[in-house]
């Protein structure tokens, strides 16, 4: 089975927000990097592209043939997608086990496990 793992940052402190990031101890900060690195080296994981924070997103709509752009993500910044990776796993239980190792899952965010349509 293949899954797209969508990382929702939620309240997770990120280096993009130095004030929130400073709330983590240096050990915790280091652990976040270590965990993401371990995740990317997990068998079955294809790392996603590294996205800029949602604050830098532009949202585009077309109404009556006219293109409208707004500053920021489609949903609120807190609910916006923070990142993603692709996982090849035996079944949902295996995917849940990997999802639970993503630092965002324990730091105030959540991982959405989305199965890919089998061709």
Partner 1 sequence: MTLERVFRDEWGRLVAGLIGFLGDFDLAEEAAQEAFALAAQRWPRDGPPESPRAWLTTTARNRAIDRIRRDRTLAAKTRLLEVREATEDGVDETTIPDERLELVFTCCHPALRLDAQVALTLRTLGGLTTEEIARAFLVPQETMAKRLVRAKAKIRAAGIPFRVPPADELPDRLAAVLAVVYLVFNEGYGGRVDLAAEALRLGRALAELLPDEPEVHGLEALMLLNDARRDARFADGELVLLRDQDRSLWDSDRIEAGRRSLERALALRGRGPYVLQAAIAALHVDDPVDWARIAALYGELAELTGSDVVVLNRAAAIAEAGDAEAALALADGLDLGLERYHYLHATRAELLRRLGRVEEAREAYDAALGLVHADAERRFLEGRRAELGP
Say how far apart CA 93 and CA 22 lie, in whole Å: 34
Q: How far is the CB of 43 from partner 1 (least distance, A)?
A: 17
Q: Which stretch binds partner 1 (CB under 8 A): 17-25, 30-38, 49-57, 83-91?
A: 83-91
Binds partner 1 by CB under 8 A, chosen from 20, 51, 105, 113: 113
The first and second tokens of residue 72, run together, are: 């920021």
- Cβ-based nearer residue to partner 1, 2 or 14: 2
- What is the C-alpha separation between 46 and 97, in angstroms, rounded? 16
Eight-class DSSP state of 74? S
């Amino acid at each position: 089975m293949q899954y797209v793992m969508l990382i929702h940052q939620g309240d997770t402190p990120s280096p993009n927000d130095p004030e929130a990031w400073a709330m983590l101890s240096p050990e915790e900060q280091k652990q976040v990097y270590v965990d993401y690195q371990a995740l990317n080296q997990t068998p079955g994981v294809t790392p996603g592209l590294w996205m800029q924070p949602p604050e830098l997103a532009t949202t585009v709509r077309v109404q009556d043939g006219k293109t409208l752009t707004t500053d920021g993500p489609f949903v609120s910044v807190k609910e916006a997608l923070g990142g993603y990776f692709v996982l090849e796993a035996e079944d949902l239980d295996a995917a849940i086990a990997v999802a639970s190792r993503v630092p965002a899952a324990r730091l105030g965010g959540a991982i959405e496990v989305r199965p890919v349509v089998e061709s």
